[in-house]
């Protein structure tokens, strides 16, 4: 299996609802589904390397509410100054940073998705999916790299739930 098998439309996760009126999501709703050219793969490796060196997972919810953050301005400022800044956040925050970095290296907006799964422990988890070169590449803050969907036992351990749908306000179930 090279691509995430999408199923029926479903409601988005609550954290997405908190950012649904941001410019990033409003633009995403009008995006045409697309595929990144495979020559972007070396850029994705560079993004993964940068994220491993400059991020830290930290719980940042407010009063039990899942808050999806936006650290993009902080990352861009840090990179433009040649500084090393540690970006702190949970899986969805870090996935959104990688989302913006993928856009900066030329990934079409319609090639990006967020996917929600459960870890073997039962904890909810968010990863970034980049449709690249005809297959779904996943970035996961737990592993700090891009992996092809379905080609590693780690991904098979996750309970896949749903993924965002470019060009739509809807999310879709993941059929595994």
Enumerate the domain spans of the chain.
Answer: 6-174
Q: How confident is the model at residue 147 (pLDDT cuts 50, 70, 90)?
A: confident
CATH number of 6-174: 3.10.620
> Tokens 């633009």 correspond to what residue?
27
Q: Count of residues for the chain?
A: 176
Bigger pLDDT: 53 or 104? 104
Bigger pLDDT: 71 or 45? 45
The angle at the Cα of 91, spanning 88 to 97, to the nearest 5 degrees, equals 65
Widest pairwise Cα distance in the chain = 44
Bigger pLDDT: 81 or 157? 157
List the structure tokens of 137.
């590449």
Q: What is the pLDDT of residue 107?
A: 92
d(CA 21, CA 44): 27
The beta-strand segments (E) located in the chain are 6-10, 55-57, 87-89, 112-118, 124-132, 135-140, 145-148, 159-164, 171-174
pTM, two decimal places: 0.82
d(CA 65, CA 159): 22
Q: What is the pLDDT of residue 53?
A: 79
Q: Which residues pair with 147 in a beta bridge?
A: 138
Q: How confident is the model at residue 20 (pLDDT cuts 50, 70, 90)?
A: confident
Q: What is the pLDDT of residue 116?
A: 93
Q: What is the pLDDT of residue 77?
A: 54
List the structure tokens of 35.
């595929």
User: Cβ distance 58 to 88 under 8 Å?
Assistant: yes
Mean of pLDDT over the chain: 80
What integer is the mean pLDDT of 101-123?
91
Give φ, ψ of 4 to 5 degrees.
-65, 125
Q: Which residues pair with 116 in a beta bridge?
A: 126, 162
Q: What is the pLDDT of residue 62?
A: 53
- Given a cut of 90, whether residue 172 has pLDDT beyond it is yes
- Given a cut of 90, whether residue 161 has pLDDT beyond it is yes
- Given a cut of 90, whether residue 56 has pLDDT beyond it is no
Q: What is the pLDDT of residue 68?
A: 53
């Amino acid at each position: 299996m090279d691509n995430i098998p999408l199923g029926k439309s479903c409601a988005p996760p609550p954290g997405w609802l908190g950012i649904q009126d941001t410019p990033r999501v409003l633009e995403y709703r009008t995006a045409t589904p697309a595929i990144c050219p495979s020559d972007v793969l070396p850029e994705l490796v560079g993004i993964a390397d940068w994220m491993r060196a400059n991020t830290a997972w930290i719980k940042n919810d407010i009063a039990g509410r899942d808050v999806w953050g936006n650290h993009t301005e902080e990352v861009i400022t840090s990179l433009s100054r040649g500084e090393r800044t540690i970006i702190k956040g949970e899986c969805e925050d870090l996935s959104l940073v990688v989302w913006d970095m993928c856009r900066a290296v030329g990934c079409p907006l319609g090639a990006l998705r967020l996917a929600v799964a459960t870890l073997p422990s039962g904890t909810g988890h968010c990863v970034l999916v980049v449709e690249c070169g005809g297959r779904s590449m996943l970035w996961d803050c737990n592993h700090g790299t891009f992996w092809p969907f379905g080609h590693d036992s780690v991904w098979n351990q996750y309970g896949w739930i749903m993924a965002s749908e470019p060009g739509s306000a809807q999310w879709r179930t993941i059929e595994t």
